[in-house]
Amino acid sequence: QDFPSTWQPARRIITFMGLVSLICTLLVVVIIIIAVALSKTAHPRSTTLKPSELVYLVPQPRKFINRTPTIVVHRQNPRIWQKHVEDLSTLVKAYRERQGAIATSNCDLHYAPIGVSSCSFPLDRISENCSAQNNFGYDTGNPCVGLVFNAFAGWNPIPYNKSNPDDVPVEIRNGYDLQQIVPITCNTSVVVASGSSENASVFHVHYSPFSGFPYRYLPLRGMMGSTLPPLVMIQFIGGQSMADVEVNCFLWAKNLPRNATNDPGAIRFSFFIV
């Protein structure tokens, strides 16, 4: 008699159970939505990346029989190059979005503001040529590729001792601040070329924002997961109307000796530009 008639333990329990299962269902739905959103934005092309490699190459070259994996640059056929542009746009977009969520401050190559736990990667210093507006150069036959440091390889680069010249390979003796940067060099070798250029066997290689991976942005120094792995956009500028070009890029660090048969610091691919 003291209690209102609606107060019935059984009924309350049932209501409670209903509420709990409703909350659980909602939680599961939210988790699924977040997971889908993350897999779409944070890890573009995660299905094609091989975790054993030190560097990811975007776009992924196609495999052909008896040929170096090849990025086909077909100027006249937007259906072919738009796929590459899409891959690179997705990569840059993922950086922008993730950056907004985790980074706290702008840092430069030598300097991070005191108390900063994560540096935002200087995406705005990537060459204007390597942007979606300019189709990453694919419509003009001056293609850009992105190299992304693989933070999951568990590899920790060790700088060369720059006060000991014998320690530093001749290819990177000039023009690199070896305490600040893990250099990346790319060499082109033109197999076949024809066309407009005054010198058809030469490609100019342009790196941005840095010609390598700055140690400052490597996620393994200190705060794993709080920074985005460094990224290099590399543009290959040539004047050819048609070219078959082999590209050899190398990552340089003291604990990455060059090895002709099995070189984990090498990234080899080719462009077929028509």
Name the token pair of 214: 């700055």
105 lines the binding site for ligand NAG (CB under 6 A): no
DSSP state of 63: P
CB distance 239 to 198 below 8 Å = yes
- CB atoms near residue 141 (< 10 Å): 22
Alpha carbon distance 145, 152 (integer Å)? 21
Residues 39-58 that bind ligand NAG (CB under 6 A): none
Alpha carbon distance 156, 169 (integer Å)? 19
Helix (H, G, I), strand (E, B) or coil at 188: strand
Task: State in angstroms the smallest separation of the CB of 75 from ligand NAG.
Answer: 12
Alpha carbon distance 106, 170 (integer Å)? 33
1 lines the binding site for ligand NAG (CB under 6 A): no
261 lines the binding site for ligand NAG (CB under 6 A): yes
Residues 143-162 that bind ligand NAG (CB under 6 A): 161
Q: By C-beta, is 120 or 211 nearer to ligand NAG?
A: 211
Which amino acid, one-letter code, is at 190? Answer: V
Plot region of 237 (φ>0 → left; ψ -120 to 50 → alpha; else → beta):
beta
Q: By C-beta, is 127 or 180 nearer to ligand NAG?
A: 127
Sheet bearing 70-73, strands edge to edge: 70-73, 266-273, 242-251, 181-194, 212-214
Using the contact rule CB under 6 A, the part of the chain among 53-61, 87-95, 218-226, 254-262 near ligand NAG is: 254-262
Q: x-or-dash pattern for ligand NAG, window 201-240, by CB under 6 A? A: xx---x----------------------------x-x---
Alpha carbon distance 102, 117 (integer Å)? 10
Q: x-or-dash pattern for ligand NAG, window 127-146, by CB under 6 A? A: x-x----------x-x----
Q: By C-beta, is 119 or 253 nearer to ligand NAG?
A: 253
Lookup result for tokens 């994560």: 118
Q: By C-beta, is 185 or 270 nearer to ligand NAG?
A: 185
Binding residue for ligand NAG, selected from 21, 39, 199, 255, defined by CB under 6 A:
199
Chain contacts with ligand NAG (rule: CB under 6 A): 127, 129, 140, 142, 161, 163-164, 171, 185, 187, 198-199, 201-202, 206, 235, 237, 248, 250, 257, 259, 261-262
